[in-house]
Amino acid sequence: MLDLTRAGKALVEELEAIRLRGMERVLARMAADDRRRVLTGLEALVDAAESVSEHDTRTPRGRRASA
């Protein structure tokens, strides 16, 4: 098991804050209707991901999953 150092945890928090600020800037440029559509799409993505069994996520070695 690995644990982050205090400095490592601080770096992760800083990078997360940078990522969130970037996402906030992008979302702020979008119309409210577009933001709602993004949210609906993300909710659908999460629902689909939760319904996939572990067996369904495996692909044979050397083969790519198709979308």
The reported pLDDT for the residue numbered 54 is: 56
pTM of this prediction?
0.56
Start-end of H helices in the chain: 6-28, 32-51, 54-57
Residue 3 has phi, psi (to 5 degrees) of -125, 140
The amino acid occupying position 56 is D
The reported pLDDT for the residue numbered 52 is: 86
Residues 51, 45: Cα–Cα separation, whole Å: 10
Q: What confidence tens digit (pLDDT) does each residue in 18-51 have?
A: 999 999 999 999 999 999 999 999 999 999 999 8
